Amino acid sequence: MAKKQHSHTSVENKLEAVKKVLENHQPVAAVAKELGLHRDTVNRWVNQFKANGKEGLLNSRSITN
């Protein structure tokens, strides 16, 4: 059985989705549907942004120490 390939969304695209929710007051479900994502994914991005700003949207794999 093959593993499901996960795609990674750029920080800019995540930020655009978050702004649609927070600034344009679009429903999370509508933004998620528009982007072909699950609403939990967009909700996670919104919560990460609220907690840590743009840095909260960085992919943990791209952070180096």
Query: What are the pLDDT digits (tens) for 13-43?
Result: 999 999 999 999 999 999 999 999 999 999 9
Whether the pLDDT of residue 60 is over 70: the answer is no
Angstrom distance (rounded) from CA 12 to CA 23: 15
Angstrom distance (rounded) from CA 1 to CA 9: 25
Given this model, what pLDDT does residue 50 score? 96
pTM for this predicted structure: 0.80
Q: What is the DSSP string of 1-65?
A: -PPPPPP---HHHHHHHHHHHHTS---HHHHHHHHT--HHHHHHHHHHHHHHGGGGGS-GGG---
Whether the pLDDT of residue 51 is over 50: the answer is yes
